[in-house]
Structure formats: structure tokens, C-alpha cells
Amino acid sequence: MQLDHLHIEHFRNLSRVELTPGPRFNVLTGPNGQGKTNLLEAIYTLGSVKSLRAQRNAELIQWEQERALIEGEISREAHRRQARIEIGATGKRVVLNGTLVRSIQDYFGTLSAVVFSPDDLGMLKGGPSERRRFLDRAVFNTRAGYLADVQAYESVLRQRNAVLKSPSPSAGLLEVYDEQLADYGASITQRRLEYLRDFFPIFRRAFRGIFTLEGEVEASESAQIAETLALGYGASWWSPSPVSVSGELEVPSLEALRTGLGGALRRGAREDMRRGTTCSGPHRDDLHLAFLEREVRSFASQGQLRAIVLAMKIAEIQVLTERLRFTPVLLLDDVSSELDRDRNRLLFELLKRHPGQVFITTTHRDFIQLEGEDVRSWSVRQGALEPR
Amino acid sequence: MAHQDPIARLVSQLARLPGIGEKTANRLAFHIIKEPAAFAQELSEALLGVKERIGLCTTCCNLTETDPCWICQSEKRDSSVICVVEGTPDLMAIERTGEFMGRYHVLHGVLRPLEGVGPDEIRVRELVQRLSKPEQGVREVIVATNPNTDGETTALYIARLLRPFEVKVTRIASGIPIGGDLEYTDRVTLGRALLGRREI
């Protein structure tokens, strides 16, 4: 899958952009605040309709403009499609090949893009919400229905929390929300676990590859270390927690998950009322990662943590490639500046092996160890692109 | 308030209507100014008339000029079935189909605690009171709130409230529209439609 042409109007600081990317590496160089990330965000938004950072559509529209426009020509083997997203202050309109798309799920898969940004690098050290965001984005890319579940869950959660905060919460109403949360929560959890089950073996392979490439240990030793790699899904409302996804994972049935979450919500109602918020459910769950029987977060070095995240992103791309049966577009947002020289070399070794289209932003062109015919370069200054 | 410019006053009132922004309010105001005085007279009387003469039906909470409303008065309607709707526009939509011959109950909203709309803010108590009178002979309550999360919450809440009564509580089906195409139906709808399948 590749983006053959991109046209942007009034998206954040990008007044007007025409870009004809190449099928392999596309490098965008420029100082901070010039619009490089906005360009990647436009591509991501074209793919997922959701934006990367903004909560509100108005934030995506250039100052003093009424609407933003992102238009792309996308090809997948012989298929060519024209996608267009119009962003107004109150909503988005999606048009595919000249026809208005009524349900986002019908648009799903038109342009699949995986983002890799400095935020991801901090994922293992940061709070659980960053790991959930990684997981949710990965699952969403492979399952169209997931987004609807997450949105419904969040909407019910907000209503339930409002009941909890009210002076005299209605028990009957709480029970109704518990029932709905258990319903959507079970579906979300099941999809996350199914994803992790498919993700783990690929992640382990990538992890082993990276440790070997890192040159820190011999190949045989890294294979042994990789054997001790353990990934768990932590859910306070489920027993046992964390659910180990490293071995033969049998994903619990929807019914079992629903009963489990429903029970935990009922038992926690009093505590939830005291705190004014819902303490258990997939919105509080977390990923646990360990090797050599130690939790990664607490003992791995900064460099190792980044190498592991790199392996996770590679696995995410591979799972997606297998699921979609074509290569997604890769968006790398200024990742090189956050990696040391050896890991940068590693990143570019891996990228050269990745067959698809890649967009890379950087502040210094020297960071990007890519040369040759399949590399196209642009400078980005004040929202404008210039070939270089 | 001292002397406010009459045009500004009209514009600011019109802009309070849902879906009307500043621009549209301006356009409407200047249209009214341009029209003969009789139009403004008629419009203002219509506005006042609506507030003076329309109230809630004491039986079903429908908006009505007479009490009980024409549906509750009608002897041709089946009193054993009550269809619960969010608002009068939904009632009118069902009436237009001509498929339903039972009676209604209008909630005037759905549960949205986040916006301060709890069970006391919509007309659920009136529904319970109505069912507490066995002489009404209600056998089935069809909950026809919208198929979104708030509509679903309200439906589940009503089902829970009505449990003590000997009455069947049903939910309207949701699924693929007639003339629709399976291939282009979103998965949530398709999943629902499969769950709610029926024998043929």
C-alpha cells in the first residue's frame, strides 16, 4: 500500500501542500515547529479519520480558516483510490472515490498507517495509559469494529462517573451502567487479548533479532534471553492477573469476561462512589513486560527500553501486514534524535528490510542514514515543502 | 435592561434556537423585517399560542392541546401495548408508519447523568404510575428509544423499573435497513442484526 499523492489545505500550520512521495523512503527535514509532524499527522488522519493528538476538530484547522482538507491518492497493487477528508469545526466528512462515506467502518483499511514517535519510546517507562494507547491503536488497525466498542465504552464510562459524583447516586441506574460497561468492556478485553496472542511470537522474534544486532550478546545467548521474555495483560478485575500472553493463551469467552467485569463493578460500587470514579475495567488495564524474570520497567537501561519498543513496533507492523496481507505505510516522527548512534544504525538496518513506504521526519538530515535512488527528500519551513 | 436595539434583540433571540448560528439568525431577522407586518403578527401569535395551549397529556406525557391527548382518547387504540419514545417527533415518526395501533408514553429525553439528566428529569415515574393501575390492562411495553448508548441505557433502566410488574418489556429491533446491502453494512449493525434474527 502506498500514498501516491497528497494534497493538504489549512491543516494546522499547513496552508497548502502538494506532495508526490516515492514508493520507499521519504525524508522531511526541518527545524522544530515548521510542520513536519503536522504532515505525518495529516497522513495518519487520512488513514484513520481520527487524529493523533487533537481532541477537537477545531484544533486541526488553521487559524482563521473554516475548514481543513486532506486529499490522497492511494494505491494497493492495481487498486487506486481517491480519499478525501474535510474537517469542519463540528465534524469530518469522508469522501472515497467521489462518494460520501456514511460509516467509518466502510472506509476502514483505505490507508493503513503505523506511527512511531518519541512518545512511543517512553511507553515502557511511562504510565499505563501510554501502553494502552499503543495497544488500542494496534488493535484498531486490525479490527474495524474495535473503535465503536471503545467509543461506546468511554461514553458509558463518562455517564457512570457522573452518576458516581452525584449527591445521591441511583443504585438502579448504576446497575444499568455496570451491565453496559461489562458488555463493551468484555468485547474490548477479548480483542486486546486476541491481538496480544498473535503479537507475542512475532514480538519475541523481533526482540531476539534486535538483541543479536545490538551486538551485546551472542546469537545463542540472545535466543535464550528471548525465551525468558514474558508479556502479561494486567487487569485488576480479572483473576489471575496479569493474564500471561507468552504461553499458550486461551482467550476467555465473552461471557466469562462479562461476568468477571460485571462482578468487579458491583463489588467496587461503594469504593467507586467514595472516589467518584470507576476503578476497574479495561480503561485501567496495563501491559507487563519482563525478561530474565525481571520487570523491564524497573531494571532495563534506557537504551534497552528503546530497543524493546523498537521490537514492539516492528512486531506491530508485521502483525498488521499479515492481517491485511499488504504492507502498511510507516510514519516515523523524529525518532532518530531520540536514539543513540548504534540504535539508529539498528533502526535503519530494520527499515531497509521493511518493504513498504516510509515517511521520516528529522531535524538534521545527517541523522537519517539513508541514501540512494529510493530516497526522496524535502525541506519543511513554515508549513511549506521544498524538494532538496 | 435599557434600550436594546430591536434588531439585535431579535437576532440574539433567534440565535438561541438549536442549529441556528449568528449568520442564520441575522438572515432570518432581516427576512422578518422585510416581510409585511402581518407576517410578524402571525408568527408571534403562533409562538405564544404554542406556549399557551400546548401542555403534557396527563396519561402519556405527549405534547397536546387537549387532555388526554387524541391518542389516549381514541377508542380504536389497543391499550394493552405501550410504546415508549424519547420525544414527540419519534411518536410522530411511528404514527406515520401506520403500523402501530397501541398507545404511547413520551419520556422527553434520555438518561444523561453527565448533563444532569437523571431518572427524575425524564418522565419515567409517570410510566411506572401508569402501570401500577391494573385496570389499564397493559401486557407489553415496547421501548423505542434510539439505538445509541444513551437510548440503550434508558431502555435497560426502564426494563429494570418494570420488572415488578407483570408486563412484557421488549426493545425495538435494530439491524439492516430495507433495501440495504449486507456487504456495505457496518459490523456493529450487522452483529446486532444477527443477534436479533427471527425465524421465517
> Would you tell me how many other CB atoms lie within 10 Å of the CB of residue A13?
16
Q: Where in the sequence of chain B do the CATH 3.40.1360.10 domains occur?
A: 63-171
Query: CB A170 to CB B150 under 8 A?
Result: no
| Contacting residues for A318 by C-beta, under 8 A, at least 6 apart | A202, A206
- Give contacts of B118 with chain A, Cβ < 8 Å: 163, 166, 170, 173
B6-53 to CATH, choices 1.10.1030.10, 3.40.50.300, 3.90.1280.10, 1.10.8.420: 1.10.8.420
Q: Nearest CA of chain A to the CA of B78: how many Å?
A: 30
Query: CB A144 to CB B187 under 8 A?
Result: yes
Q: Where in the sequence of chain B do the CATH 1.10.8.420 domains occur?
A: 6-53
User: How close are the terminal C-alpha atoms of chain A, in Å?
Assistant: 25
- Which own/partner pairs from A338-342 qualify as long-range (CB within 8 Å, at least 24 positions apart)? A338/A118, A338/A121, A338/A306, A339/A121, A339/A306, A340/A303, A342/A214, A342/A215
Q: Which of A137-141, A314-318, B28-32, B192-196 has the lowest mean pLDDT?
A: B192-196
Q: In this structure, what CATH number is given to the domain that contains residue A357?
A: 3.40.50.300
Instruction: Give me A35's grid cell.
Output: 510542520
- Give contacts of B156 with chain A, Cβ < 8 Å: 176, 179-180
Mean pLDDT of B186-190: 67
Q: Which domain holds residue A22?
A: 1-112+328-388
pLDDT value of position A315: 92
Strands (E) located in B17-97 = 55-56, 63-64, 78-85
Query: CB A103 to CB B186 under 8 A?
Result: yes
pTM of the model: 0.83
Query: CB A155 to CB B149 under 8 A?
Result: yes
Query: CB A105 to CB B156 under 8 A?
Result: no
Give me the architecture of the B63-171 domain, per CATH: 3-Layer(aba) Sandwich (3.40)
Categorize the per-residue pLDDT at A215 as very low, low, confident or very high, splitting at 50, 70 and 90: low
Tally of domains within chain A: 1
Query: CB B160 to CB A177 under 8 A?
Result: no
Nearest partner of A330 among A145, A109, A111, judged by Cα: A111
Is the pLDDT assigned to residue B138 strictly greater than 70?
yes
Q: Is A169 domain-assigned?
A: no
> Would you tell me how many other CB atoms lie within 10 Å of the CB of residue B38?
8
Residue of B nearest to A149 (CA): B188
pLDDT value of position A108: 82
pLDDT value of position A54: 61
pLDDT value of position A189: 96
pLDDT tens per residue, range A33-42: 999 999 999 9
pLDDT tens per residue, range A145-183: 788 888 889 999 999 999 999 988 888 999 999 999 999
What is the spatial distance between Cα A99 and Cα A82, in angstroms, rounded to a whole number? 10
Chain B contacts to A (CB-CB under 8 A): 111-114, 118-119, 149-150, 152-153, 156-157, 160-161, 184, 186-188, 191
